[in-house]
């Protein structure tokens, strides 16, 4: 079945760039998503990319999609302490708007 994989932890220094990586298995994915979960909260959509795009930029966020390798990345420029959270990669290809989520990457930003 479909699977989405991410590394579990990433630690970066404040002001540096963060890159969170994700791989997925379903080549029929229409959209790929990045969600952010702050402590004690639900998930919030950060950005998404349509499967026929290679890159999408939104302020400090850059999403890169390599369809051949089924690899998705999220780059956060000038990472701040407020970016500390869990980031989930998700792919959407099923009916009824179902999403398949990765395990989440916990980003820790230190001074």
Q: Least distance from C-beta 97 to another protein, angstroms?
A: 4
Q: Where are the beta strands (DSSP E) in the chain?
A: 4-6, 9-13, 18-24, 31-37, 43-50, 55-58, 61-66, 71-76, 85-92, 100-101, 105-110
Instruction: Decide: is 88 part of the binding site for another protein (CB under 8 A).
Output: yes
Chosen residue from 50, 54, 57, 110 binding another protein by CB under 8 A: 50
| 46 near another protein, judged by CB under 8 A | no
From the centroid of its chain, how far is CA 86? Answer: 10
- State the Cα–Cα distance between residues 21 and 69, nearest whole angstrom: 12
Per CB under 8 A, the list member of 22, 74, 104, 107 interacting with another protein is 104
Closest distance of CB 37 from another protein, Å: 8
Residues near another protein (CB under 8 A) are: 4, 8, 30-31, 33, 35, 40-45, 48, 50, 88, 92, 96-99, 101-104
């Amino acid at each position: 079945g479909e699977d989405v994989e991410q590394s579990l932890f990433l630690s970066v220094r404040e002001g540096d760039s963060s890159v969170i990586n994700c791989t997925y298995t379903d080549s029929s994915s229409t959209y790929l998503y990045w969600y952010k979960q702050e402590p004690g909260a639900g998930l919030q959509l950060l950005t998404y990319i349509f499967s026929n795009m290679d890159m999408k930029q939104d302020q400090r966020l850059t999403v890169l999609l390599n369809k051949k390798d089924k690899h998705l990345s999220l780059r956060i420029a000038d990472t701040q302490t407020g970016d500390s959270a869990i980031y989930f990669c998700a792919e959407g290809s099923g009916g009824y708007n179902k999403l398949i989520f990765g395990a989440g990457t916990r980003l820790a930003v230190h001074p």
